[in-house]
Structure 1
Amino acid sequence: MNIQTTLLSIFVCVLLPKGYDGTLTYNYFDEMAQSYCASQSSGWVFALRRDCARGADTCNNICASAKNAILASISNQRTRVSCFDGYHVGKNHNRIRDNPSTAQPDSNTVIFKTYGYGSGGCTWKANHCGPNYCCCKAF
């Protein structure tokens, strides 16, 4: 066994998660939601997932229930937390080709659909789909 094979074996056995099936996938929905929320306010902003398909609470309540974790994440630099917006990222979207060069393949193609609810997203009825992210702010 050579050094490359040994290192690969260590990588596969130690670094990859249990049950890894050989496919690397990742979505950027959380980053999209965080970017949206941050663009709508100033200061400490957090996008929290809301699972509207499984009886989610209101965003007001989701932000309130995360208060301690939110404040701890910023070393308690603020004392209060509230919801200020709701956001929906459509998860079934078109796939486009990578653009590693200066050319833009698939130009003019609709990719994502998103919807910002504004402050109305904070009070969206519990157990109803709508926002799948809550925008929370520490102040």
Structure 2
Amino acid sequence: MRTYLIVVGALLCFLNSACAIDIYGLSYNYFDEMAQTYCASKSDGWVFSLRRDCAGVAPTCNDICASASGEILRTISNQRNKVACFDAFNINKGHNQLRANPANSQPDAGKVSFATYGYGSGGCTWTPNHCGPNYCCCHAF
């Protein structure tokens, strides 16, 4: 009986999109993957995208990359010696939802969905505690 209740609860949660996003981390992974793709497209070598909480107490991206340098270098088995910010950007998370496109046709073709703003290297020094970039691009060199 217990297993049945868990399955029913999970199914009901799955049918509720807000609950499903919380459980499965769909938006969590999607925005982080977008961020990593953006950063990787801007540099070569070891590249990392790190979240910046621009709604709270947000240090500069230079500080965020510096604070994560030990973890970054351990992640790549210390194949490099230094870490620095090289870019920063904002993903507008309040975007239009487009219909799924599992077939060859493109429903909602030509409609606007995502908006991002790239700050370039100037985003690395964006004023602390002010919203702006919500992702920092760091590289190990």
TM-score (norm 2): 0.84
Radius of gyration: which is bigger?
A: 1
Q: Distance in 2 between matches of 1:121 and 1:50?
A: 11
RMSD over aligned CA atoms reads: 2.0
Matched residue pairs, number? 127
Q: CA deviation at 1:55?
A: 1.6
* Structure 2 partner of 1:94: 96
Calculate percent identity across the aligned residue pairs.
61
Q: Distance in 2 between matches of 1:21 and 1:127?
A: 36
What per-residue deviation string (whole Å, max 9, x for no partner) do you get for residues 112-136 of structure 1? 0001100000000000010000000
Identify unmatched segments of 5+ residues in structure 1: none
What per-residue deviation string (whole Å, max 9, x for no partner) do you get for residues 30-87 of structure 1? 1111101000000000000000110200000000000000001111111100000001
Q: Distance in 2 between matches of 1:121 and 1:85?
A: 6
**Is 2:138 the counterpart of 1:136?**
yes
Q: Distance in 2 between matches of 1:29 and 1:44?
A: 19
* Structure 2 partner of 1:41: 43
* Structure 1 partner of 2:52: 50
Where is the helix percentage greater, Structure 1 or Structure 2?
2
Secondary structure of the structure 2 residue equivalent to 1:112? coil
Give runs of ≥4 in structure 1 deviating > 3 Å. Answer: 20-23
Q: Distance in 1 between matches of 2:79 and 2:104?
A: 43
* Structure 2 partner of 1:78: 80
Q: Distance in 2 between matches of 1:21 and 1:126?
A: 38
Q: Distance in 1 between matches of 2:123 and 2:32?
A: 17
TM-score (norm 1): 0.85
Q: CA deviation at 1:24?
A: 2.3
Q: Distance in 1 between matches of 2:72 and 2:34?
A: 19
Secondary structure of the structure 1 residue equivalent to 2:88? strand
